[in-house]
Structure 1
Amino acid sequence: MTLTPEGLEHTPTLDTIIEGITCRIAERSDRGRPADYIPELARADLSRFGIAVATADGRLVTGGDRDMGFSLQSISKVFTLTLALGQVGDALWRRVGREPSGNPFNSIVQLEYEQGRPRNPFINAGAIAVTDAILSGHQPREALGAILRFIRFVSDDDGITINEDVARSEKENGFRNIALANYMRSFGILENPVDYVLGVYFHHCAIEMNCRQLAMAGRYLAFGGRHTPGGARVVSAERARRINALMLTCGHYDGSGDFAFHVGLPGKSGVGGGILAIVPGKASIAVWSPGLDANGNSWLGAAALEQLAKEMRWSVFGD
């Protein structure tokens, strides 16, 4: 808050704040590193940054490269978790836990220690188990189609597609995920053939969206499970709260505590450089910058969200 020349208080608008954040991010030289273990992502342009905010009053405020597409990677796990809970309900939690991992997202050590049951649905092993739940009783093409239709529905955009080059790159280099899936299958956590499960998993991680589309897609988590405030219901308000709780505690792998400390919002990151963040009752936010920190989270995306939450006083922990 600042004072005008006349001495009156003046609160910057969301548009002004987004413009200021975009300009400050553009000036920074520390941009992180791309996900070089996936060749298609290793070629990312680190100068890129985009942001979009879908608000409760129906506005979409954007900045930077808001129309440039990127692969969702682990952000897709928010949508697959929503679908799986819709299909099997709380029975899902017999196969997947709800606790922070404290380990890298592709760790097999923790999975071995806990006898094949993933710690939460947002680490790779957990998301593979969630994908298996969606696949049960369906062919891989049908399951993937259901995931894509759901994301198109919540984003109000039928133009969202899968980046086949990224999916192929993930499949050709997904050795650790193959190991995780086979290990879980040995404990009966996975019910379907490993090749089928991983095929769907690699493809839903390769769904491509831009910041505008992703901010729109997250609205049901911001508005009590509804498509828009007072609009059609996507999930129950209770389920939306629980998904947000998991995003807050587990959404950034072993960097989740640090993200909660600095940003104070439920969020889910992906190694494509995107982050979906939720301000309950107020807004759905998408940021994207492909340079990552040591934990695999967008370096400048997290910095932008910290600035935005501070200036808008949007932390779930209060002002």
Structure 2
Amino acid sequence: MPATVLALDFHVDRATGSDSFTALQAQNPEQPWATIGHALRSVQNSGGPHTIHVAAGLYLESLESAYAGITLQGASGAILEAPADSAGLYVEHEDFTLDGLEIRGGRHGLRADTANGLIIRNCIIRDAAKNGIHITNSQNVRVENTEAHNNGSRGILIERSAPSYVRNNLVTENQEWGIEVDGGDSEIFPPGTNHLASFNTVIQNGVLATHGGLRFENATGEIRNNILASNAGRAIKVDTAPTFIHHNLIWAQSLTIDFDTDQEPLIWNLIEADPLFAGNGDYRVAANSPAIDAGDAEVSVADINGSIRTDLAPDTGLADLGRHVEAS
């Protein structure tokens, strides 16, 4: 008979915690550890899956997690500020979830390698010197309900990692590409397949005409239900077929969709119109936006995880384009 594996909850609070507490004590919210790094090291040999709850506060740390079955759960206001010469968080194992944490600075915000089953959700990743999120050599990775802002290279970069799902994210003001999926050198690796980029709002990325909003390189899959606006150069660039690009809104772009001559994607339901954002950095769309009810009918009821989507205005119930937020 297999041994019973207990799922445990541990707590971190820089204001009230102490790293002198034992793992048993740190399961009590009244006796939290003080640092996230100590928490990750302390649970490494305790089985799993485990959840580390991080209280609000500023944590000046660079983290590494090399143990499977960990969820790092940040409370509202939990911020990890990384040193300039290292990643805020480095993950090198399977089944890790980062949920609700803000990561600022660092060489990369989050760097992951051989991290099968990685989930990044409800996070803010900003101001990294290079990529906000950089994932390599992993399978079945998900980046969802996350914001990536003002990073020195890409907001989200996924390399040699399939399948990947990049959904419902807000990606703005990154220096190269907002979102890039790279299947790898086609002479070494076969093109990556089964990539999905959907319901993202991708705004003002790139500083050169060779950069832009969303790129699939040596990667095939589906780009649907996104809003891309005011990115440098291209809104979307693809170089490998078959890629399906449909139900997207593109606005204020010098080039909408760029593709290699012999690798033309299938494109339909493309809207070229002002998305009518709320303004002042608020990228929700107005009730009269052309993005309302313009989504693919096949995903209007639930997304790939079965989560019900909520429109921003009383309407037909079809999905809106771009990032979805709960109706207020």
Tell me the TM-score range normalised by the shorter chain: under 0.3
TM-score, with structure 1 as normaliser: 0.24
Q: Which has the higher helix share?
A: 1
TM-score, with structure 2 as normaliser: 0.23
Question: Which has the higher relative contact order, 1 or 2, with Cα contacts under 8 A spaced 6 or more apart?
Answer: 1
Q: Is the radius of gyration larger for structure 1 or structure 2?
A: 2
Q: Which has the higher strand share?
A: 2
